Amino acid sequence: MPEKFSGGCACGAIRYTCTAEPRYMGNCHCRDCQRATGSAYFPAVLVRNSDFILEKGEPSWYESPSDRGHMMWRGFCSSCGSPLFLRNGANESVTIMFAGSLDDPSWYKPSRDIFVKSAQPWDLMHSDIPKLDGMLE
């Protein structure tokens, strides 16, 4: 895992750098994340805001309430539509990137699958990582 990493959107209008290793990596299978990704889950890379630098561009944000009532903000490129970031109102000290937005997503290693109760039957999850029905158990 790199100590410093970068990423951005498909068209290059938005670029970011993170100056420290991620604090967490995991796959979220909740319906909101399925809709946001257009896929089976959201591969999440979490860093502290103090380690995150938005180098270029400004994402557009979509705001919606979570199942627990706090707000969630999803950042995406308004030019190409690439999903890039998630900000969680329950912990505003972190930024969460979509692993697919990393310049080198090959080092992404999820530590768990969350909200598996919402997982789709065609989603073949890795058998070696823990599965949680919600965020925490």
- Residue 86 · residue 63 · CB < 8 Å: no
Distances (CA, A) of 57 to 8, 13, 76, 86, 113: 10, 6, 11, 16, 31
Per-residue confidence (pLDDT) for residue 124, from 0 to 100: 93
Predicted TM-score (pTM) of the model is 0.91
Can you tell me the distance from the alpha carbon of 24 to that of 47, in angstroms, rounded to the nearest whole number?
A: 7
Q: pLDDT tens digits, residue range 49-106?
A: 999 999 999 999 999 988 778 899 999 999 999 999 999 999 999 999 999 999 999 9
Categorize the per-residue pLDDT at 137 as very low, low, confident or very high, splitting at 50, 70 and 90.
low
Per-residue confidence (pLDDT) for residue 135, from 0 to 100: 73
Q: In sequence order, which ranges of 30-82 are alpha helices (DSSP H)?
A: 31-37
Domains (ranges, CATH) in the chain? 5-117 (2.170.150.70)
Q: How many CA atoms lie within 13 A of 26 on its CB side?
A: 19
